[in-house]
Amino acid sequence: MVLFSKSVSALSSLSSRAQVKSRTQTFVYGTCKAQGLLDSQDEPVMNMFSTCATLSEKPTKESPLSDMLIDSFGRFHSYLRISLTERCNLRCQYCMPAEGVELTPKPQLLSSNEIIRLADLFVAAGVEKIRLTGGEPTIRKDIEDICLQLSNLKGLKTLAMTTNGITLARKLPKLKECGLTSINISLDTLIPAKFEFMTRRKGHEKVMEAINAAIDLGYDPVKVAQYAGLIRLQDHPTDTAKNYGIDGHRGTVSFITSMTEHFCAGCNRLRLLADGNFKVCLFGPSEVSLRDPLRSGANDDALREIIGAAVKRKKAAHAGMFDIAKTANRPMIHIGG
């Protein structure tokens, strides 16, 4: 699988602010490994073009490994992605139809208290990184409180968020205070008209404002790549992408060959969906509800048993991806980026 976008971009200056000028037609892909501050397994954003910023991670004690997070192939899962909402303030053509998709009724979505309780179980078992996704996570009204409570979980090293940036600029100062250490800002094009065409909404200037706000607040600079001759970079054994550098530029181009040369052997990711379903593999249709037993009064031990059993059932690779034609559709906006 190759992730790329057709954009118009060139890097002008990112020393203090994100000053980007449009020049020529390019294929670009943003990467998240800004100056080594993110772990080597932090995957690129699933949107086509992304920028990434990070703050230095806070020191924490190592969490003890838990059998709950070890699957039958010995893979330990230290990375949890939590979808906070299925709703989004954009209608990107590659994500959903113009009329949107059928959303889960609000009462069936996890409350902030339920999210924190489940996240606490994962972190206590050894999860060190949580990424908040959606939908668009910043449109959730209690996003600041969720970030604050998550950042206070003992053992959590990184609290990240993937966002389209539309409402981020005004919320980011508070989110930083609440412990948000890393952000991915998705941007498909630097041309406002193309942005509106691709997202079916206005807001290009708001995304650029969010990028500038992130830099002003001390998050690490943005990387932008212009199409040029590529130089293969040395990959970490657990990297999910083949990375290429561009001589004289700070950006990278990455190819994710998840089907032909999959990286399942080193997968450390789990997903908690907005409706409380627990998903151990992005490719697999299998999900188990944590919301239902939680609301039925299950204690922590019972929830750990459900989580551990689901992790143990994780397949070696692709989890039935090759039977995808027989699988019921589950839009990505329901699963989370």
CA distances from 319 to 75, 225, 313, 327 (A): 15, 34, 10, 12
Residue 284 pLDDT class (50, 70, 90 cuts)? confident
Q: How many domains does the chain have?
A: 1
Two tokens, residue 331: 């839009």
Domain of 247 in residue numbering reads as 5-335
Residue 176: which CATH number?
3.20.20.70
pTM reported for the whole predicted model: 0.71
CA distance 182 to 188: 20
Residue 276 pLDDT exceeds 70 = yes
Partners of 277 in the β-ladder: 289
Confidence of residue 100 (pLDDT cuts 50, 70, 90): confident
Residues in contact with 96: Cβ distance below 8 Å, sequence separation at least 6, in sequence order: 88, 331, 333
Distance, in Å, from the CA atom of 268 to the CA atom of 99, rounded to the nearest integer, reads 35
Tokens for 201? 């909404």
Residue with the bigger pLDDT between 106 and 265: it is 106
**How many residues are listed for the chain in this entry?**
337
Mean pLDDT of 235-246: 73
Is 119's pLDDT higher than 70? yes
Is the torsion defined by CA of 204, 246, 263, 151 positive or negative?
Answer: negative
Which pair of tokens denotes residue 279? 């998903």
